[in-house]
Structure 1
Amino acid sequence: MLRPLAPVACRVPLLALLLAGGAAAQTRHNSAAPIDFGADHIELQDRANRAVLAGNVKVRQAEMTLDAARMTVAYTGQVEDGNPQVSRLDAAGGVTVTRPDQTARSTYAVYDLNRRVITMLGGVRLTQAGNTVSGGRLTINLDTGRAVIDGSAVAGGGAGTGNVTQAPNGRVTGTFSVPKRN
């Protein structure tokens, strides 16, 4: 069972958070760090083995954060050290993932903890330093650090609207910075 901290914040250890910015150059994420999350509201659905966080959801693990309007936390029903074993996190509505030098934004994000893969969908925009890449889907493998952006996924209709359409012309676009030379 999740225990509330101030107002609705919870700590779930050994949860490899859902959002690793997305570049292979990033250092490996510390998946053993505890995860803190907070929201305006939490609804525990023990019979369904899930918790629903809503309103200004913020999740933090080590140097990585995830902000969204809503998140569903699915757990296995097994408890270790007093905490449920989480298997999947689903975030929706203005999703933002931040790491020390990069930010990824999308309409939806799914983190499969068993596979250690994060998938961001809908109007994805990944920014690092002066580089920006946009597409329909971003897939991040937390074990290898490999990130792939493609244009074949969905484009969101805005935060929390639920509108999903095919990405226009299925292309990835972006801007790369050029180092200054003397």
Structure 2
Amino acid sequence: MSRPLAIGLFAAITTTATLAGSAMGQSRHDTSAPIDFAAQSIELQDRANRAILSGGVRITQANMTLTAARVTVSYTGQVISGSPSVSRFDASGGVTVSRPDQTARAQYGVYDINRRVITMLGGVTLTQGANTVSGGRLTINLDTGRASIDGSGVGTTRAPDGSVIRSGGRVTGRFTVPKRD
């Protein structure tokens, strides 16, 4: 998969943990690599410039794989080398983004191909080896390799009219410490 996944925006960010470098950051991704997909079904909505993939969806770009129950593929309408120019993936239902050294899981994910950013929301967990960080929203910049998790959306309480009564949350995790002699 190339480019970012961006998913909805939640209210306030109260706690932010930035993960970069060897601790939990992502390495640079080849966002120009072709994107392959597999699913049980596809529904083309040409007038809306989108396609709906459903049933065990698997999208692969270079060494990154996205899996989900359902993915909406948005495209610009332009055709490049015989294929429509894809601009965004909106994934839902047990979304997992994996790379050789890391795995991120959430309920929703957006890969914004033009911005080369992936955003995941809802019960986010980022794992690298024995290191794990959990929160409400994860943003991965595929150009810089920087991953950021915050507590937004975690513990949000809404009134019957949909307005936010209380928002916030905390980022939690565990980093392993190398054994010393």
User: Over residues 83-111 of structure 1, what are the superposed CA-to-partner deviations in whole Å (9 max), with x where a residue is unaligned?
Assistant: 00011110000001111011100000011
* Aligned residue pair count: 158
Equivalent position of 1:102 in the other structure: 102
Cα RMSD after superposing both structures: 2.3
2:8 match: none
Alpha-carbon shift at residue 32 of structure 1 (Å): 1.9
Change (3 A) 1:29 1:61: same
Distance (Å, rounded) in 1 between the aligned partners of 2:49 and 2:101: 35
**Who is 1:75 aligned against?**
75
- Cα offset for 1:153? 2.5
Cα 1:170–1:75 shift into 2, 3 Å: same
Q: 1:148 maps to what in 2?
A: 148
Call closer, same or farther: CA 1:138–1:171 in 2, change over 3 Å.
Answer: same
SS of the equivalent of 1:170 reads: coil
- For residues 113 and 34 of structure 1, the distance between their equivalents in structure 2, rounded to whole angstroms, comes to 12
1:26 Cα deviation (Å)? Answer: 3.4
Q: Any gaps of 5 or more consecutive residues in structure 2?
A: 6-18, 156-163
For the 8 Å contact 1:52–1:72, the answer to whether it is kept is: yes
Normalization by structure 1: what TM-score?
0.80
Q: State, as a whole percentage, how many aligned pairs show the same letter.
A: 69
Whether the 8 Å contact between 1:154 and 1:167 is mirrored in structure 2 is no
What TM-score does the superposition give when structure 2 sets the normalisation length? 0.80
1: CA distance, partners of 2:3 / 2:115: 12
- Structure 2 counterparts to residues 1-182 of structure 1, below 5 A: 16-18=2-4, 24=21, 25-154=25-154, 170-182=169-181
